[in-house]
């Protein structure tokens, strides 16, 4: 096949060739110290490049968490630019974990920062928040689609505080009676189904974040019905450090399993610079077995 490939199709190819483990690049101050790096822009850069090198040999997806780079201001951003560039050059799919959200032209500018081809921070996908309404991120949905980029919209996140808002039931709109998480997920599925070439895509280019620690049925997420077409990409943090067990993968995600990206940060990064490659290789095997 020639020509540019949609994010969903690239994700499908990565799943097939490199598996579904995503390594989070979260240079916490405590980890930097364990890794023998200073808590500085240089330290986060060296940490990130080391993770990229190890990930490129054993898995297909990385997710830098922008907050840990933003702590170091402009120099932190320069470090992140380099890490993203090297990760993409090594063939990794990069999900920028930025959790942006705003309205109209403001959110459109966030989309340009992280997804526009040629932007210094260009990634393959970004995390985004639609709590101002799914319509508030329409401009980014459109821009991502035309640039063959991906989005992961927060739906049912892994943190315990999220339930009160994400499980709240909508009073108005065409999705009245749905939970917030369910309405966001249905809206994302509808968007993917509405693309002109949807029938030929294995996965849509827009996914949702569904934390593995969340009780998804209480959030109104349907994990039992036939999967949507194209399939729904699901970014799944919560395994590892936050306590969810890979042995529960099927129970948690059910029919959504084929689209799930297992994302872990501290549980892998804690292996340190000398153990990181083995830790990624081992976890990638475990994720492959649990999701097979
Ligand atoms: O969007 C995310 O990646 C995310 C969503 C969510 O619901 N929960 C969640 O923990 N995350 C991110 O996933 C990473 C989890 O890190 P660990 O708990 O160390 O595996 C952090 O970068 C979080 O910001």
Ligand 1 centre distance from Cα of residue 3 (Å): 33
pLDDT in tens, 150-200: 999 999 999 999 999 999 999 987 888 999 999 999 999 999 999 999 999
CB distance 129 to 154 below 8 Å: yes
**Homologous superfamily, domain 7-291:** Aldolase class I (3.20.20.70)
Q: Which one of the listed residues 71, 82, 85, 99 is annotated catalytic?
A: 99
Residues 251, 249: Cα–Cα separation, whole Å: 6
User: Helix count (H) and strand count (E) of the chain?
Assistant: 12, 8
Only one residue has tokens 């200073």, namely: 38
Determine whether the shortest distance from the Cβ of 163 to ligand 1 is under 6 A. no
Residues 96, 260: Cα–Cα separation, whole Å: 17
Residues 29, 201: Cα–Cα separation, whole Å: 41
Element (H, E) at 204: none
Determine whether the shortest distance from the Cβ of 237 to ligand 1 is under 6 A. yes
Q: What is the ipTM of this complex?
A: 0.99
Respond yes or no: is residue 99 known to be catalytic. yes
Q: Where are the domains of the chain?
A: 7-291
Bridge partners of 125? Answer: 95, 150
DSSP summary character for residue 170: P
This prediction's pTM: 0.98
3-state helix, strand, coil in the chain (%, to 5): 50, 15, 35
* Nearest alpha carbon, ligand 1 atom 8: 158
Per-residue pLDDT tens listing for the chain (292 residues): 445 799 999 999 999 999 999 999 999 999 999 999 999 999 999 999 999 999 999 999 999 999 999 999 999 999 999 999 999 999 999 999 999 999 999 999 999 999 999 999 999 999 999 999 999 999 999 999 999 999 999 999 999 999 999 999 999 878 889 999 999 999 999 999 999 999 999 999 999 999 999 999 999 999 999 989 999 999 999 999 999 999 999 999 999 999 999 999 999 999 999 999 999 999 999 999 999 9
Determine whether the shortest distance from the Cβ of 282 to ligand 1 is under 6 A. no
């Amino acid at each position: 096949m020639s020509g540019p490939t949609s994010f969903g199709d690239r994700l499908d190819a990565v799943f097939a060739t490199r598996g579904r483990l995503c390594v989070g690049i979260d240079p916490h101050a405590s980890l930097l110290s364990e890794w023998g790096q200073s808590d500085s822009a240089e330290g986060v850069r060296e940490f990130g490049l080391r993770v990229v090198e190890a990930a490129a040999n054993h898995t297909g997806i990385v997710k830098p968490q922008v907050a840990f780079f933003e702590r170091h201001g402009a120099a932190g951003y320069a470090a992140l630019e380099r890490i993203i560039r090297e990760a993409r050059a090594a063939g990794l799919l990069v999900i920028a974990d930025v959790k942006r959200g705003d309205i109209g032209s403001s959110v459109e500018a966030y989309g340009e920062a992280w997804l526009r081809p040629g932007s210094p921070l260009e990634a393959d996908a970004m995390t985004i928040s639609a709590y101002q309404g799914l319509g508030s991120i329409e401009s980014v949905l459109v821009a991502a689609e035309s640039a063959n980029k991906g989005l992961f919209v927060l739906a049912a996140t892994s943190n315990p505080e999220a339930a009160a808002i994400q499980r709240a039931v909508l009073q108005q709109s065409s999705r009245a009676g749905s939970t917030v998480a369910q309405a966001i997920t249905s809206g994302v599925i509808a968007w993917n189904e509405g693309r002109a070439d949807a029938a030929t895509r294995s996965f849509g280019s827009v996914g949702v974040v569904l934390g593995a620690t969340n009780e998804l049925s209480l959030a109104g997420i349907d994990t039992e019905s036939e999967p949507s077409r194209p399939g729904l990409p699901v970014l799944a943090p919560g395994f590892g450090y936050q306590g969810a067990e890979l042995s529960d993968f099927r129970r948690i995600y059910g029919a959504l399993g084929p689209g799930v990206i297992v994302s872990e940060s501290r549980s892998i990064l804690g292996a340190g610079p000398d153990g990181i490659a083995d830790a990624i290789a081992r976890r990638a095997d475990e994720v492959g077995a649990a999701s097979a």
